[in-house]
Amino acid sequence: MKFVQIIDYRTADFDSMNALMDRWVEQTKGKRTASHAVIGRDRSEADHYLDIVEFDSYQEAMENSQLPETDAMFREMVALCEGMPSFTDLDVVREEQSNAATVRRFFHEIAAGGNLAAIDEVFAPDYVDHDVANEPESETGAEVVRRDLTMWREAFEFTFDIERQVAEGDEVAVMWRWTGRHKGDFQGIPATGEQCSMTGTTFFRFDGGKIKEGWFHFDRLSLMQQLGAA
C-alpha cells in the first residue's frame, strides 16, 4: 500500500530550506526511497509550507527516515523553522490517477517494452486473469501475465496505442489498439512477417495499489484472418 507523509512547517528563510533539500537529494542519490515529492506554499500565509512525500510503502518510508543523511537534514530543517514541524502519516486508500498511470505502464513498459521484471511491481501475487480466449477462463497468479506476455512477445513485435482510458475508484477501463509484426510461431501458425492490428478493451481492478483482477476482450478473429488462418 502506498504511503504519504505530510510535513507542515513555517519558515521565513525558504531559500535556505530549498538549498537544504537540494543537498539532501544529492547526498541520498541511489539510497532514498521516496517515489515523489511536492512542496507547497500557503497562498494566505507566505511563511507556511507543506512537504508532501510519497513512498511505495510504509516500510520504505521508514528506511528513508533511518538514513543518516535524513537525520542530519531534519536537524538543520528544525533550525530553519519557526517552531517544530508537524508530521501526518497517511496510508493511500484511493488514487485514481496513480492506477491509470500503472495501467499505462503495463501496456507500454511491460507488455510492449518487454520489462517483464516489473510484473511483480504492478500485479498482485494472487492476481486473477479473466480471458475468454483461455481455458479455463480465469487463472490466478502474476505468473499468468508473465507466461502470456512471453508467448505474445515471442510471436510478435508489437506496440499499444491507448485510445481511451477511464479511472474511477479502484477500477480502470482501457480501449486500446495493438499493432504488431508476426515474427514467430503463434498458435501453430509459422511466422508470416505480416503487419497486423486489432482492437480490444481491458478492465482492471486494483487492490492496495496493484492490479488484482483483469478482464481482456480483443478481436482475435480479425487477427487470425490477417494471419491467413480464418
- Identify the pLDDT of residue 31: 87
Cβ count within 10 A of residue 75 = 8
- Average pLDDT in the chain: 91
Give the pLDDT band (50/70/90) at residue 138.
confident
Domain locations along the chain: 3-91, 96-226
C-alpha cell at 57: 510503502
- The pTM assigned to this predicted structure is 0.63
Distances (CA, A) of 24 to 42, 44, 69, 71, 76: 23, 28, 7, 10, 11
The mean pLDDT of 21-49, rounded to a whole number, is 91
- Side-chain half-sphere exposure of 57, counting CA atoms within 13 A: 7
The mean pLDDT of 52-77, rounded to a whole number, is 91
Helix (H) or strand (E) holding 50: strand 48-55
- Identify the pLDDT of residue 127: 95
Contact call for residues 210 and 128 (beta carbons, < 8 A) = no
Give the pLDDT band (50/70/90) at residue 98.
confident
Place of cell 509459422: 190
Query: Which CATH class for the 96-226 domain?
Result: alpha beta
Give the pLDDT band (50/70/90) at residue 166.
very high
Q: Does domain 3-91 have CATH number 3.30.565.10?
A: no
Q: How would you classify the pairing of strands 86-91 and 156-168?
A: unpaired
Contact call for residues 38 and 21 (beta carbons, < 8 A) = no
Which strands, in side-by-side order, build the sheet including 138-140? Answer: 138-140, 123-131, 210-218, 195-207, 171-182, 156-168
- Whether the per-residue pLDDT at 136 is higher than 90: the answer is no
